Amino acid sequence: MTDISDTPVQTFNPNPTKPVLRLPAGACDAHVHVFGPAARFPFSPARHITPMDAPKEALFALHKMLGVSRCVIVQTVIHGYDNRVVEDAIEAGQGRYLGVALVPLNVADAELRRLAESGFRGVRFNFMKHLSAAINTEELLGLTHRLKSLGMHLQVHFESSLVHELTPIFMRSAVPVMVDHIGRVNASEGLTGADFAGLVNLLKSPHMHVKVSGVDRIDPLALASPPYPNGVALAQHLLAEFPDRCVWGTDWPHPNHNHTPDEGVLVDTLTRVAPQAGLLEKLMVTNPQNFYRFSA
């Protein structure tokens, strides 16, 4: 366990602006988290920060303001392998909220089945030095065969430079793979950056998908440059190249960030990421519906 401050960190904007863009009916925020309340859902002792509570009620209120009607909640290291906080939010969401779990590689089949039946559509693994130890990739590939029978996918979060060595691993996955946050590439390198080129090459495989979220995260100059033109340019390119395999999310409540984004501003970046109504419909409605299988 690392030293953790007892002072809770504020990770989200308590007063986001209302976006100008009106999202289409059935719009999905495909990447968020929930933290606490810690009194009911204790934080993991292995966490790296102690955040302020960001409970489901705050998330639901945000989505109502933004015009979001569906959502995918991703478990984080803040709660570790105790996925109850996400299960609780899924249940309260009454079919409009689904989840992605954190599990160990040796998770029991019975637990995977229980998670799938509870509304979890996949499991996430972090290849990030600040979040996790090294992952045995052969064991991970073995897990994907167990996920296949349950209709679950693999979600991966990795440091951008790892895309080149991880590509042959992900190509062997038995299930669809969702890449987080534009592969965490350095957006200031533009479309010709080596890691972005590696991501585009990876996405040529039809079972690979990507979240064009995190335009506020992937540019070292983002703190000084909302509404994030460098990140938006990469997201726009990916959606144009792979229109059926991109989804988007706010990443609320923004842990491990260099600034606190305004969700209204993030939604309005979609006018440039998906400038045509048909593309916006695919990104926000059709693609998440097809990938996550929301109830009608």
Query: How far is the CA of 110 from the CAs of 114, 146, 150, in angstroms?
Result: 6, 11, 11
| Strand 120-127 with 97-101, pairing | parallel
Q: Give me the helix-helix angle, 229-241 and 194-203, nearest 10°.
A: 30
In eight-state DSSP terms, residue 238 is: H
Q: What is the helix (H) or strand (E) element at residue 177, kind and residue range?
A: strand 177-179
In eight-state DSSP terms, residue 19 is: P
Structure tokens, 62: 């945000």
Q: What is d(CA 119, CA 11) in angstroms, rounded to the nearest whole number?
A: 26
- In contact, 167 and 199? CB cutoff 8 Å: no
Question: Could you give the 3-state DSSP secondary structure of residue 153?
Answer: strand
User: Which residue type, as a one-letter code, is found at position 257?
Assistant: H
14, with CB counted inside 10 A (0-12, 13-18, 19+), is: exposed
**What's the start-to-end Cα distance of the chain, in Å?**
43
- In contact, 46 and 4? CB cutoff 8 Å: no
Query: How far is the CA of 127 from the CAs of 23, 35, 119, 162, in angstroms?
Result: 32, 21, 24, 8
Enzyme catalytic residues:
251
Q: What is the helix (H) or strand (E) element at residue 247, kind and residue range?
A: strand 246-247
